[in-house]
Homo-oligomer: A and B are copies of this chain.
């Protein structure tokens, strides 16, 4: 069984801030958001976790190995370098969606995302060090088969983007419904899914479902480890095996 430690990161009262006293320049907001994501990626990544940008104002991270003190330091580092602050909420579960459900509730209990008084919340219960195992995190790294040949080098870039987005939208919903998994687009034609324990056949079914529904052919490498970093790197190596062997699913557990 997996024990995914999930952290919800939320920029405090961000929507109102972006239009106070009048709408801020979009170019600055885009720069702020993407740099904040890059910094969180490094801060969490230096401790072997993964952050996904999802909506940018709300980000979801896999943080096995990060204590509340680590989270607090990240919160402080953001406060020291940005005009905004962040709240964080942590939970652990065999089901990634359940972990996020708990993490989200804990934060919602403290007030609205647009409550100017509710800032820098830090709540939750990380996985105790003694309970951690080498099987806690299972990540699946999907990509689109021959995306460059079939799309990038053929269609105009927006139509390529539509194809990739459709594949992603279908996969994210299937994984959520069928397995309580959380799937994130990470650029190019790549999606990383935070999974519960799943076997090769279940991944093959997910791939079949997406191809049937929207005609996008995926392949997937899967890894499991003590941390997101370990599981993610194992998944990437498995995906390389798919490329070399021409297979659709490779498990590297």
Interface residue ranges, A against B (CB under 8 Å): 8, 10, 14-15, 19, 22-35, 37-39, 41-47, 50-51, 53-58, 60, 76-77, 79-83, 97, 100-101, 103-105, 108, 112-114, 148-149, 152-162, 164-166, 169, 172-173, 176, 182, 186-189, 192, 229, 232-233, 236-237, 239-240
Structural contact, B37 and A157, CB atoms closer than 8 A: no
By a CB distance below 8 angstroms, the chain B residues around A155 are 104
Name 14 interchain pairs, CB-CB below 8 A, sorted by A: A8-B157, A25-B76, A25-B80, A27-B229, A28-B76, A30-B37, A31-B42, A34-B35, A34-B53, A103-B157, A104-B157, A112-B148, A113-B152, A158-B176
Residue of B nearest to A59 (CB): B157
How far, in whole Å, are A183 and B71 apart by their CA atoms in the complex?
32
A165 engages B169 (CB within 8 Å): yes
Docked Cα-Cα span, A239 to B76, in Å, equals 21
A81 contacts B15, C-beta separation under 8 Å: no
Shortest C-beta distance, A103 to chain B (Å), equals: 8
User: In whole angstroms, how far apart are the Cα atoms of A205 and B27 in the complex?
Assistant: 29
Across the interface, do B186 and A158 meet the contact criterion of CB distance under 8 Å? no
A192–B26 touching, CB < 8 Å: yes
Residues from chain B with Cβ under 8 Å of A41 in the complex: 27, 30-31, 34
In the bound complex, how far is the Cα of B79 from the Cα of A35, in angstroms?
Answer: 15
A176 CA to B160 CA in the complex, in Å? 12
Which of A46, A108, A155, A239 has most B Cβ within 10 Å? A46
Q: Is the CB of B158 within 8 A of A113?
A: no
